[in-house]
Every structure is written in C-alpha cells, then in structure tokens.
Structure 1
Amino acid sequence: MEQPVVAFDNVGLRYGQGPEILHDISFALEPGSFQFLTGPSGAGKTTLLRLILLSLRPSRGLVRLFGLEASGIAGQDLTAVRRRMGVVFQDFRLLDHLTTYENVALPLRVQEREEASYRAEVMELLAWVGLGERAHALPPVLSGGEKQRAAIARALIARPELILADEPTGNVDPALARRLLRLFLELNRLGTSVLIATHDLALMDQVDARRLVLSDGQLHRYD
C-alpha cells in the first residue's frame, strides 16, 4: 500500500512554556485525496498547515511527510520535500519586483527549466484564473483578488504532489471561487493530494470531500 502523503500521530504544539496551541492531532492524507480543513477563526488551521510545511516543528507527537519522519528532515532534504508541495498563503507572498507571469513561473525556473518549455503553460493557467491580461503587471498594482489568483496559479503550475491552500477563495467573488475550486479538483483528478483550509461552507458544500474540523486546537471530528 502507498504511504500517506501526510500523517500526524498525537501531535501537540506549544510556544516556549505556554499552553498547547494544538493538542492530540491525529489524521492522514492519502495519496490523491481531497480534503477540507475547517473551523472557526483562531482554531489553529494556519498553524496546522505550517506544521505540514515544516515551517513549524511539533512539541510532541509524530509527523510524517511522503513517508519521511519530519524530525529527520533538514537542509537539502527539507528543500526537496517542500518542492513536492504547492502552497497558497493568506498573505500571497508574491515577489514585488517580478511580474505576474514571472511569479507564477518561479517554481519552474527553480527547477531550471527553459522558459520555452513552459511559457505557453504559464500563460494558459493565467488565462484560466482570469489574469491573462495582467501577465506583465507587478504585484503592487494588482488588487487583492488578483494577487490571490496569482498565488494560486504559482502553487499549481508545477503540478505538485500535495497542495496546501489557506483560504484560497477568500478574496474573490462566488463565481470565481467556483472556477478556482474546479481548478483544484482537476489537479486532484490528475493525482495531486489537496488540503484546503476554509470557513466557507458554501464552497465546501460543492464537493463531496472529507472535512477535518478544528476547534480550540483539537480535531473534534474527522468526517
């Protein structure tokens, strides 16, 4: 059997000597799965995503990514693991000195691919998210919704094995949210595992997918 893409076993997280922010978190993301992470604001959704990305390390418990124990991943191995993920952050993290096209193409440039091999692919994806005419615009002149769509396109362009998306439709209208959701679903159909953190019930109701429900730092329900 294939190993889970992500597996948490009784994971807890605290900062310093303070109380645990997350406690007794156990779940698994199977290869090719599509799941939502939901719960009220402050429940710990973003923190859990940061644990998966290894920008935070747990205070206790076991985290495995692609079959590797997180505590043993560092240096070049950490870079390699992160390249297997596509991440959509709430604060977008676009590079202001790069155009929309260049920001979206960045994961492919990091792979040292020739631009001729991916230019059409990047432009097609930009058109899909409604940014075809903004390809040469710099992030400072983009609206919040346009930045959101650019961040989503950048996360998807390299067809990673795992997508982590933190409120990916929070700055767009319902029609575009449905269009972006179809993009995540299509990538999932091609084999990518997807975990979307959202509190948008209308969005989640469009997909028959499992929901991880966080509240007060605990995973209360795993549907």
Structure 2
Amino acid sequence: MLSFENVGLSYGTGPETLRDLNFAIEPNSFQFLTGPSGAGKTSLLKLFLLALKPTRGKIILFGRDSATLSKDEITQIRRRIGVVFQDFRLLDHLTLYENVALPLRVLGQEEATYRSEVFELLRWVGLFERKYSFPTVLSGGEKQRAAIARALIARPEVLLADEPTGNVDPTLARRLLRLFVELHKSGTSVVIATHDLNLMDQFDSARRFVLADGRLHVFE
C-alpha cells in the first residue's frame, strides 16, 4: 500500500531531518509511530500524505511512484487517506455536522445518502448533542473528536493520526482507540503518531515505528 525506499528529507541546505527510511505499510495493518519530540514524526506523516517531497529516495503509494504523479493524481490519492492533524483544521463557519460531512460533500454525494452515517459517527465520538454547534464554542477535546470523525467519514483506505488522543481524557482515549481498532478490522490501515505509551500498550499486537536520530526502527 505504501513503501519508502532509501528516503531522505532535508529542509533547505541543512542536514537531513530524516534519512535512509526503508519500510512498508501493508493493507489492513495497524502501527504506532513514536519517538522523542522533534524527531520528525509530523514530517514523516506529511511524506505519507505527499504534502512534502523527499529530498532523495522513492515513495510508492498505492502502487504509484509519487515522483511521477500529476497534481490531479495526487489529489485523487489523498482522497483515499484520512488525516487527523494536531491543529484540527475545522472550518469555523460550518457546524460540527457540516465539518464532518464536508469530505462527502466535496465528493459530490447528496446529503440524504450520508446524513444518518454522520449522525452515527458523531454518536460514536460523543458529539451527537453538539452536532449543530460551531467549532468556536467547542473545547479542545471536542475539536479533536470532530477532526477524527471527519477523517473517518469517507472510510479511508489509510488513516494517519497525529496525536489523536492528546486533548482527551484517558477514558475517551480508550474509546477512540477502540474506534481505530474497529476501523482497522474493517480493512483500513492505521498509523497513529503518539507519545502515549499507555495507549500503545493497550494494543500491543500493533507494530511500533520508532523515530530516533533521523532513522526509523521497526518493532514487530
């Protein structure tokens, strides 16, 4: 589904932030990405999403060499990937319901085909009663859950989540992890970047990718 071959990344003329990355994300797999602050976890997720281009090496995504893709093809591939960013990226002029439904609206789907699904997902993340609220009145934890719901609504083939439980309490963190596990069981590959060792220990069968000193170490 996704592979890195001798990938390196540097910013400007500086030294490589990430180097010699060789690994693969298989279909229907689950992995945690961890490492110290500043190790490059967010940069790695941006490479997954093709939001950054590698300085060297090759990234293969869904069987395509990313270097050969046009802008339109990159857009099409990104629609197969759900992303939860740390800064949420909710649109303040849209209600919570509208924010979560936005990926389906962009795809041209009629509201009647997804309304009940959006409601069900909002129930799952504990936000059904807030469905017509605007992001400006939501807490950080509520925004986090809304961002997760939006990332999941289009049933992505791959989910990339950057610290998805960073703004919620431990009980809700466990509930969200169960949601990710169920998504994985349905066929989605999941990559969760996190510092939360307790969270990772709850799903110890997942692979762990550890970034340190610019290199990636894989623990099965």
Partner-residue secondary structure (3-state), 1:36: strand
Is 1:210 aligned to 2:207, yes or no? yes
Is the contact made by 2:34 and 2:193 (CA closer than 8 Å) also made in structure 1?
yes
Alpha-carbon shift at residue 216 of structure 1 (Å): 1.9
Paired with 2:74 and 2:148, the residues of 1 have a C-alpha distance of 22
Alpha carbons 1:22, 1:44 under 8 Å: kept: yes
Overall identity of the aligned pairs, in %: 70
Q: Is 2:85 aligned against 1:50?
A: no
> Counterpart of 1:120 in 2: which secondary structure?
helix
Where does 1:1-223 land on structure 2 (aligned, <5 Å)? 5-207=1-203, 208-223=205-220
Aligned residue for 1:118, secondary structure, equals: helix
Per-residue CA deviation, residues 116-169 of structure 1 (Å, 9 max, x unaligned), is: 111010011001101001101111111000000000000001101000000000
| Cα 1:123–1:134 shift into 2, 3 Å | same
Q: CA shift at 1:14, angstroms? A: 0.6
Q: Partners of 1:222 and 1:10 in 2: how far apart?
A: 19
Task: State the superposition RMSD in angstroms.
Answer: 0.8
How big is the shift at 1:76?
1.1
The answer on whether the counterparts of 2:207 and 2:218 sit within 8 Å (CA) in structure 1 is no
Query: Is the partner of 1:12 in helix, strand or coil?
Result: strand
TM-score by length of 1: 0.97
8 A contact 1:44–1:216 mirrored in 2: no
TM-score (norm 2): 0.98
Question: Which of structure 1's runs of 4+ aligned residues deviate more than 4 A?
Answer: none
Secondary structure of 1:151's counterpart equals: helix
